Amino acid sequence: MKMARKLAAEAKIPAPNLYIVGTRKDAPTRSRPGGTPDGTICFTESMLTLEDDEIEAVMAHEMAHIKNRDTLVQMMAATIAGAVAYIAQIAYWSMFSEFESRTSTSIVGLIMIMIFRL
């Protein structure tokens, strides 16, 4: 905990919550910034077998994720991508309901669907 407080002070962020989880040997560490300024870092039990300077390096790396709010950015990107896919799906299925009124707008819509469905 002392190491975490020191690294957090250097990064100018609140000290994150630290947890140790018992999982598979090869499971990675995980940071979870969430929507708050303080984050959470989970270490696997196998991380405790590392030297202190190695643990400090991993902890500093995870704190960089917290400081940069990487999880929040990933969540927003996934939400936007999901919304675009959902809109493309709606447009795709709406094309089938307008068989009798094929116009140039329908063709443009079909091209847009082909682009977004990739």
- Which residue numbers are catalytic? 62
- For the chain, the residue count is 118
| Best CA proximity match to 39, nearest among 78, 11, 9, 69 | 69
**Torsion of Cα atoms, 92 then 96 then 100 then 103, to 10°:** 10
